[in-house]
Every structure is written in C-alpha cells, then in structure tokens.
C-alpha cells in the first residue's frame, strides 16, 4: 500500500464538465461537504474546480489528491491519476462520488490508492489520518445522527458565487434536505437507497449561508422532497422563516393539495418532477409506480396554486414505440397548454426537459440488459460509445446508445429534437 508520511494536505478536485452547456451552474455539494468536514477536523484541504493537467507542479505540496467523479467525467479522473502517478508516485490519489460507487470494479482496475463508496466524510477522514493502514476500498455510511452533527457544507461567498442557477429569473444555489430515495424506478441509480434526513434546523443554517452569499432562491436538490405530509410540514415551517423563493422535486404519488399549499406558503414557485413518459405501459414497465392520471393531477394541483411544473421526460425507455411517443406528445401538449399565475402576477407556462435514456451500470434496466433478459425491450446500438455517458450535453444533445424493437437510435434522436422544438417554443 502506498503511504504518505507528509502532514496530510488534501486537494479536493471537482472535475470540469466540458460536455455540458456550463459547469458553473450548480456548485459541487459533495466536495463542499468534504472540505467543511476536513476543516472541522483540522485537516488541511483546498478545493480545485479547474484542475490544470498541464502544470502539475502547482500541486506538488498536496499529500492527497481526492477526486470527485460522475461517470461522464471518468476519462478526466483516469487521466489525472495517470499523470500524477507519473510525476509524483508518492501522492495518494483517492476517487469518490457516484462513479466510484456504481462503477467500483472499473475503478478498482485503475491504480487509485483508495476508492470511496457512498458518503465520503468518515472515509476521507480515516484515509487522511490513518496513514498506510487504510483499506483500498472504503464504505463508511453515516447515520442520520452523524449527518446532522456535521458542519454545513463550505459555502464561502466567493466560491459559490462562481455558480449561477436561475429559475423564473430568481438566482439560486443548491441545498440538500435528505439523502436517498425509497422509490424503485428501474432507470435510476439512486433507487431504493436508504432515506436519511437532515433536521429542519440543519437545513435552516444552510438557507442562511445561501442568503448571506447573496442569493434570493434555493434549489432543494433532494431526489424527492415531498415524501410525506409530515416531512413537508416540518421543512416548510423552517423554510418559511427565511423569506426565500424555492424550487424542489416532487413526486406524483405523494403530491396533494395540502402539500402544494404548504410548499407555496413557504415560498415554493416551482417543482421538478420525473414524469418520464405519457405511456402507462412504460411507467409500469420501469416500476415508476405512478399513473398518467396522477401525473395530470400533479400538474393541475401545483399549477392551481401558482407553482410552475418542470417535468422531466426520458425517451428510449424499454418498450418505446411510435405509439408510446404519441402518448408522451399528448401529455406534453396538456402540460404546455396550462397557464399559471406566477409569483409576480405574470402569466407563465410550465416547462420540461427531455433526454434519452442512458443505461448506467447501477440501474435495474442495465442489470437486466447485461443478464441477457429478453423481456426487456432495450438494446445497445452497434458499437455504443460508453466512454462518456451523459444523457444531456451541450444544447440538449444526448449520447444515444440504445434502441428498442420499435424505435432506432436515429428515430429517438429525431423525436427528441422535434418534441423539444415544437413544445419549448409554445
């Protein structure tokens, strides 16, 4: 095992996303949480969000290089690992984030010194204080109590102000009120993960940080913030104290008039929601456990309270055909026909996002495809490029690696372009 006898000094690397329109929209909450935790333990660290592979000498004083990685960023992570090990083999290189969690075997095949699965705080603390005795793969989940005892993520104003996200013209930054999702969507890597909640007070501290940094809005980035009425009541009582506008993710199974009232009363002006498709057959096939009718009611419930809906759709789920596309189009028509009185009295419309499915390794669908399950009507295209793996890139582009029996990759791509052009322009 590589050892670093130097005083630990960690460089926390948030990789760039050249394939996105901009990677300065949402700040890297994982890295911000780790930085704050290490500082609270008096371990030196710094965040680098523009790693300079051409000038590695800049990083010679760091004992540990800690890379946060999502799957589309993996080539960058591997390139940094190779380059750093080439010039400074004594530097301990650690990888964490979703790619390490869901593509563990692939990460193990790379010469990383440590690979952290799941929560990084305790594992990184161990690596940085444990010297050589640490295992190579660490999985150190936190309990809710431990999560709530953590310092809030690092939100230095100059740092987070590099990131700009707007909804309805409101400048916002991101906060998490819980980790995990109990739902079982077969296309999602976060399905059936243990839900651990932050206390409303802990959320309140973070809202203050975001306001102090100059933002008027908060984007709550939990998978689903509206899991139960009680939870929404507890959270909205806290949020309402802070005079902010916010957006969060809802779910068609749990949305109700009461929940929508509480959200709006606390400043919610927009919810994101995974509606996925207008086809009941596909919703059932991917275990979404919602109905098209629930999705319609979700829209009407939110809109009637002045909450705009941003619906997320995925084309190319198993069983997609021209008929299911027509059903999705009918739903889109309904969604985009609604008129809403916005928070500032102006009449506004709903919004949507439409991507093409990319079967990440940690999803049920991918597991079934890899197992050769003929019951899944989804195939890889010939020679799919699985190297990058983003489903929404520059100007809404997708890397399409799948087709169904009824739709080729080209037909999926054409449909996506047509639907976006037709209904975004409404």
Residue 64 partner contact from ligand SF4, ligand B12, none using kind-dependent CB cut-offs of 5 to 8 Å? none
In the bound complex, which residue of the shown chain has the CB atom lying closest to ligand B12? 96
Residue 294 partner contact from ligand SF4, ligand B12, none using kind-dependent CB cut-offs of 5 to 8 Å? none
Nearest approach, Cβ of 189 to ligand SF4 (angstroms)? 8
354 binds ligand B12 (CB under 6 A): no
Closest-CA residue to 319 (of 381, 413, 410, 404): 404
Cα 317 from chain centroid (whole Å) = 19
Site for ligand SF4 in 237-266 (CB under 6 A): 251
185 binds ligand SF4 (CB under 6 A): yes
Nearest approach, Cβ of 315 to ligand SF4 (angstroms)? 15
Q: H/E/C letters for each residue in the chain?
A: CCCCCCCCEEEEEECCCCCCCCCCCCCCHHHHHHHHHHHHCCCEEEEECCCCCCCHHHHCCCCEEEEECCHHHHHHHHHHHHHHHHHCCCCEEEEECHHHHHCHHHHHCCCCCEEEECCCHHHHHHHHHHHHHCCCEEECCCCHHHHHCCCCCCCCHHHHCCCCEEECCEEEEEECCEECCCCCCCCCCCCCCCCEECCHHHHHHHHHHHHHCCCCEEEECCCCCCCCHHHHHHHHHHHHHHCCEEEEECCCCCCCHHHHHHHHHCCEEEEEEEEECCCHHHHHHCCCCCCHHHHHHHHHHHHHCCCEEEEEEEECCCCCCHHHHHHHHHHHHHHHHCCEECCCCCEECCEEEEEECCCCCCCHHHHHHHCCCCCCCCEECCCCCCCCCCCCCHHHCCCCCEECCCCCHHHHHHHHHHHHHHHHCC
Q: Which of 191, 307, 325, 365 binds ligand SF4 (CB under 6 A)?
A: 191
Report whether 273 contacts 249 (CB < 8 A).
yes
Report whether 224 contacts 254 (CB < 8 A).
yes
97 binds ligand B12 (CB under 6 A): yes
CB closer to ligand B12, 97 vs 319: 97
202 binds ligand B12 (CB under 6 A): no
Q: Which of 224, 285, 315, 340 binds ligand SF4 (CB under 6 A)?
A: 224
Q: Which of 13, 77, 93, 183 binds ligand SF4 (CB under 6 A)?
A: 183
CB closer to ligand B12, 116 vs 400: 116
Tokens representing 413 are 């791509």
CB closer to ligand SF4, 121 vs 223: 223
- Kindly give the pairing relationship between strand 44-48 and strand 64-68: unpaired
CB closer to ligand SF4, 98 vs 306: 98
276 binds ligand B12 (CB under 6 A): no
Site for ligand B12 in 25-84 (CB under 6 A): 26, 28-31, 33-34, 66-68, 70-73
Site for ligand B12 in 377-396 (CB under 6 A): 390-392
Number of residues that bind ligand SF4 (CB under 6 A): 10
Residue 185 partner contact from ligand B12, ligand SF4, none using kind-dependent CB cut-offs of 5 to 8 Å? ligand SF4
96 binds ligand B12 (CB under 6 A): yes
128 binds ligand B12 (CB under 6 A): no
Residue 274 partner contact from ligand SF4, ligand B12, none using kind-dependent CB cut-offs of 5 to 8 Å? ligand SF4
Q: Which of 183, 188, 317, 419 binds ligand B12 (CB under 6 A)?
A: 188
Nearest approach, Cβ of 99 to ligand B12 (angstroms)? 5
Nearest approach, Cβ of 9 to ligand B12 (angstroms)? 14
- The contact set with ligand B12 (CB under 6 A) reads 17, 26, 28-31, 33-34, 66-68, 70-73, 94, 96-99, 102, 116, 119-121, 123-124, 176, 188-190, 221, 223, 360, 390-392
- The contact set with ligand SF4 (CB under 6 A) reads 181, 183, 185, 188, 190-191, 223-224, 251, 274
């Amino acid at each position: 095992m590589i050892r670093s006898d130097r005083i630990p000094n960690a460089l926390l690397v948030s990789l760039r996303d050249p394939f996105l329109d901009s990677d300065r929209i949402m700040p890297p909450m994982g890295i911000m949480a780790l930085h704050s935790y290490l500082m609270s333990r008096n371990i030196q660290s710094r965040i680098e969000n523009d790693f300079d592979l051409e000038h590695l000498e800049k990083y010679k004083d760091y004992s540990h290089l800690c890379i946060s990685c999502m799957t589309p960023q993996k080539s960058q992570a591997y390139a940094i690992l190779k380059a750093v090990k080439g010039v400074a083999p004594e530097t301990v290189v650690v990888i964490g984030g979703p790619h390490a969690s869901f593509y563990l075997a692939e990460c193990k095949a790379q010469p990383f010194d440590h690979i952290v699965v799941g929560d990084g705080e305790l594992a990184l603390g161990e690596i940085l204080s444990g010297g050589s005795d640490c295992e190579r793969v660490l999985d150190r989940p936190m309990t809710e109590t431990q999560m709530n005892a953590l310092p809030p993520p690092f939100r230095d104003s100059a740092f987070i102000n590099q990131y700009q996200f707007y909804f309805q013209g409101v400048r916002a930054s991101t906060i998490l009120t819980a980790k995990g999702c109990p739902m079982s969507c077969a296309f999602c890597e976060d399905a059936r993960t243990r839900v651990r909640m932050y206390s409303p007070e802990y959320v309140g501290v973070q809202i203050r940080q975001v306001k102090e940094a100059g933002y008027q809005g908060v984007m709550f980035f939990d998978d689903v913030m509206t899991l139960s009425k009680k939870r929404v009541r507890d959270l909205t009582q806290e949020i309402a104290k802070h005079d902010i506008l916010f957006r969060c993710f809802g779910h068609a199974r749990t949305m109700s008039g009461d929940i929508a009232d509480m959200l709006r009363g606390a400043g919610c002006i927009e919810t994101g929601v995974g509606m996925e498709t207008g086809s009941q057959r596909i919703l059932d096939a991917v275990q979404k456990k919602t109905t098209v009718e629930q999705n319609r009611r979700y829209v009407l419930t939110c809109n009637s309270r002045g909450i705009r809906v941003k619906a997320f759709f995925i084309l190319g789920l198993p069983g997609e055909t021209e008929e299911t596309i027509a059903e999705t189009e009918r739903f889109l028509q309904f969604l985009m026909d609604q008129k809403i009185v916005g928070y500032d009295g102006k009449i506004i419309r709903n919004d949507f996002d439409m991507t093409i499915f990319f079967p990440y390794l940690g999803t049920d669908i991918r597991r079934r495809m890899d197992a050769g399950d003929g019951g899944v009507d989804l195939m890889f295209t010939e020679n799919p490029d699985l190297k990058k793996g983003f489903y929404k890139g520059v100007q809404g582009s997708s890397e399409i690696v799948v087709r169904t029996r009824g739709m080729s990759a080209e037909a999926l791509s054409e449909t996506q372009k047509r639907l976006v052009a037709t209904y975004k322009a409404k």
